[in-house]
Structure 1
Amino acid sequence: MAQATIGNSEFDRDTTVTRRAPGTGSAAESGAPSAAVTATFDADLSARWSILKALNGGYLLAVLGRALGDTLPHPDPFSITAHYLTASQPGPAVIRTETVRAGRTLSTGQASLVQFDDDGAEVERIRVLATYGHLDALPNDVRTAATPPAMPPYEHCLGADDAPDGEVPLNDSSEIVDRFDMRLDPATAGWAIGQPSGVGDMRAWFGLADGRDPDPLSLLLAVDALPPTAFDLGLSGWVPTVELTAHVRRRPAPGRLRVAITTRNLAGGFLEEDVQVWDSADQLVAQARQLARVKLG
């Protein structure tokens, strides 16, 4: 099978948004003044990116990120913050975008994804505020104390096929597993055999299963693609995201990514996850932090 390419892959097809002609429905549907909405898009959210019957937050962020990239005068997400209001379901969705400010080097926009319940009532799923720019225009000046995560080579890490039957909480309930070429660092995979470390770390080599190379949009998926750190803390079940902020720092080099996630505080039924994404050239290409809810007891 030929390797998929950027723009011609399962990820690209499943994050497609179709812009409506100006003046077709957006203001009337939202009840907002017509000047408040600059563009309306239709999307068909794919069940292939679901986890425990709900759609993955990183996949949804990429869908909204694509709509904003088609709205704003700058092409690349620099910073994007999403609040997940209700669980998105596979199927039709409407995305409304608004340009908040357009400057010479940066532009800011907001977007809202809505679906409709069985009675036809509109339900807002996600609301996003984002800043976009040109990654290729950034100066090549890096001063950092951050270092790539120390991990075994890809071939010495663990994939879904390496787990004992019935041991991995997501194997039988997640379509998304088949979308990824992901291999976990054995030091952070003890939870899969009932031996979580209790530290709250997760590290993995990450790519898309069809071989598509990473780009700024797919980095929005990568920051929320690994199993939750709650598993390494000895917890199981769905860990829904409340809020996720992603920073795209550089355009990634071709090849697999390394993703490292840490949680240092679980309190009151919520935890934070801090994410670093490194590319094949040892560049820190994305960072993220999210607040997520966990099931205790």
Structure 2
Amino acid sequence: MAQAAQTAQTVRTDQAAQTGRAATGDSEFDRDTAVVRREPGVYDAHLSAGWTILHAVNGGYLLGLLGRALGDALPHSDPFTLSAHFVSASTPGPAVIRTQTVRAGGTLSTGQASLYQPDENGQEVERIRVLATYGDLDGLTQDVRTSATPPVLPPLEQCVGPADAPGLDLSRTWAILGRLDIRLDPATVGWALGDPSGKGEVRGWFSLADGRDPDPLSVLATVDFFPPTSFDLGLPGWTPTVELTAHIRCRPAPGPLRVAISTRNLAGGFLEEDAEVWDSADRLVAQSRQLAKAPR
């Protein structure tokens, strides 16, 4: 099995080189989510400033980072479900991830992980804590019974990216935009022109900017890469995540992803966001729900 996986990786690397795309394992996402095992269950990491919004590190990037550490610490390598509580805002710089195996079974294993950063006094401050279950996505049954349908999007070339909204230059405060290729459905970008629809919907195409094909770890991060639905509600500003739960349903096919995010209820200063991620083979590869604080 290990030899087959290595052969498949070699093929993907050769194909990526021919098309000018980054290969899985050799892209900016992989380098910036790398962890170094200090001792069993403990990993050193460096949070890259390239994945920040304003001055805080993006939550999806953090999910990828902790997801990689858990994939190394647990007997199984593929995330099935992950629930994250964002305790405090993460900032670029050194961090340590401490993991614990809760249960190691034959087909599923469960673990928890926390990411810490030093404060001005050198004391560790917890930033994010996750509980996750891992398994083998290639071992799942192919039986699918669903009423879910992929989002209907205009062709990618008819959707809009940051460069198409010169009056709304987010690149100065959203460094993460340089790492992502997001093309939004024009029907959901009225907020960028000062005319939000009020529906609380965001839809679009997604790829990593260097062309790296999706895998379970990058899909885990993708659920929190899009602009918040609060923008479409006419509420621009910081929308910090309180808790996020993601489910990875299958290994994604190569090619761009389609992402649809919606919120139905803003109350008490909080809103929920439900996300679906579909691959190029029209399969639902990930779902998530998060609770976030609405912008003031």
* TM > 0.5: yes
Rounded Cα–Cα distance in structure 2 between residues aligned with 1:172 and 1:96:
33
Rounded Cα–Cα distance in structure 2 between residues aligned with 1:98 and 1:179:
31
Paired letter, 1:19:
R
Rounded Cα–Cα distance in structure 1 between residues aligned with 2:136 and 2:239:
33
SS at match of 2:154: coil
Report the CA distance between 1:238 and its aligned residue.
0.8
Report the CA distance between 1:164 and its aligned residue.
3.0
What's the counterpart of residue 17 of structure 1? 35
Paired letter, 2:22:
A
Is residue 290 of structure 2 the alignment partner of residue 273 of structure 1? Answer: no
Report the CA distance between 1:78 and its aligned residue.
0.1
Indicate the percent of aligned positions where both proteins have the same amino acid.
Answer: 69
Rounded Cα–Cα distance in structure 1 between residues aligned with 2:188 and 2:55:
25
What's the counterpart of residue 15 of structure 2? none
Paired letter, 1:210:
D
- Output one character per residue of 1:69-91: Cα deviation in whole Å (capped at 9) or x when no partner: 00000110000000000000000
Rounded Cα–Cα distance in structure 1 between residues aligned with 2:252 and 2:90:
28
What's the counterpart of residue 124 of structure 1? 126
1:1-297 matches, within 5 Å, as: 2-22=20-40, 39-165=41-167, 167=168, 170-296=170-296
What's the counterpart of residue 9 of structure 2? none
Report the CA distance between 1:171 and its aligned residue.
3.2
SS at match of 1:192: helix
Report the CA distance between 1:52 and its aligned residue.
1.2
Question: By percentage of residues, which structure has more helix?
Answer: 2
Rounded Cα–Cα distance in structure 2 between residues aligned with 1:295 and 1:262:
16
- Output one character per residue of 1:194-227: Cα deviation in whole Å (capped at 9) or x when no partner: 0100000000100000000000000111100100
Q: Tell whether the 8 Å contact from 1:108 to 1:129 is kept in structure 2 after alignment.
A: yes
Rounded Cα–Cα distance in structure 2 between residues aligned with 1:292 and 1:89:
19
With structure 2 as the length reference, what TM-score do the two structures score? 0.93
What's the counterpart of residue 33 of structure 1? none
Report the CA distance between 1:293 and its aligned residue.
0.5
Paired letter, 2:80:
F
With structure 1 as the length reference, what TM-score do the two structures score? 0.92
Rounded Cα–Cα distance in structure 2 between residues aligned with 1:215 and 1:111:
21
Gaps in structure 2 of 5+ consecutive residues: 1-18
Q: Tell whether the 8 Å contact from 1:50 to 1:174 is kept in structure 2 after alignment.
A: yes
Q: After the TM superposition, which segments of 4 or more aligned residues of structure 1 sit over 3 Å from their partners?
A: none
Gaps in structure 1 of 5+ consecutive residues: 23-38
Rounded Cα–Cα distance in structure 2 between residues aligned with 1:20 and 1:274:
36
SS at match of 1:183: strand
Q: Tell whether the 8 Å contact from 1:229 to 1:263 is kept in structure 2 after alignment.
A: yes
Q: How many residues align?
A: 278
Rounded Cα–Cα distance in structure 2 between residues aligned with 1:211 and 1:285:
18
SS at match of 1:20: strand
Q: Tell whether the 8 Å contact from 1:164 to 1:193 is kept in structure 2 after alignment.
A: no
Rounded Cα–Cα distance in structure 2 between residues aligned with 1:54 and 1:294:
17
Rounded Cα–Cα distance in structure 1 between residues aligned with 2:218 and 2:39:
27
SS at match of 1:235: coil
